[in-house]
Amino acid sequence: MSKMQKFIKLNGRRYYTESFKKHVVKEVESGVLSKEEAKIRYKLGGNSAVLNWCRKYGKSQLFTTRNIAMKNVEAMESAYKKRLKELESELSISKLRTKYLETVIEVAEQRLGVSIEKKSESKFVKSTSKKKRE
């Protein structure tokens, strides 16, 4: 680690290099050092520098993001399944209603001896409302 440049000093402030940050994170994640031990060993300022580096460069960040994404997918899948059940229920009710109406029409036609269903070939009859107004 002695050959690696740890930080750049500008205006009295230290800016750590990305390679150094990744090295520290690797040591913390492998269990060689704790976050507090890394802070003391490398004389790092601030209480949350190592924590922030672990969040940014660590493997645990990838798993956290993946877990959140998987939870979102599972929630969406659950919502879609619920909506599918609702639609299937509505379709079933609609089919029953259609069957009921067809049966009512069929019975009415048999008892009355008149065709009730509208024929698709029949022409539209214009209203005579204009003649009534005159």
Is the pTM value of this prediction over 0.85?
no
Indicate whether 68 belongs to any domain.
no
Domain holding 18, by residue range, is 7-57
Q: Is the model's pLDDT at 89 over the cut of 90?
A: yes
Query: Which residues are bridge partners to 16 per DSSP?
Result: 7
The answer to whether residues 41 and 74 touch, using CB atoms and an 8 Å cutoff, is no
24/37 Cα distance (integer angstroms): 10
Burial class (CB in 10 A: 0-12, 13-18, 19+), 54: buried
Is residue 92 in a domain?
no
Q: Looking at the domain assignment, is residue 130 inside a domain?
A: no
Does residue 20 belong to any structural domain of this protein?
A: yes
Please say if the pLDDT value at position 54 is more than 60. yes
Is 49 contained in some domain?
yes
Domain count, the chain: 1
Say if 64 falls within a structural domain.
no
Hey, what long-range contacts does 32-37 have (CB within 8 A, 24 or more apart)?
none
Flag whether pLDDT at 37 surpasses 60. Answer: yes
At residue 134, does pLDDT exceed 50?
Answer: no
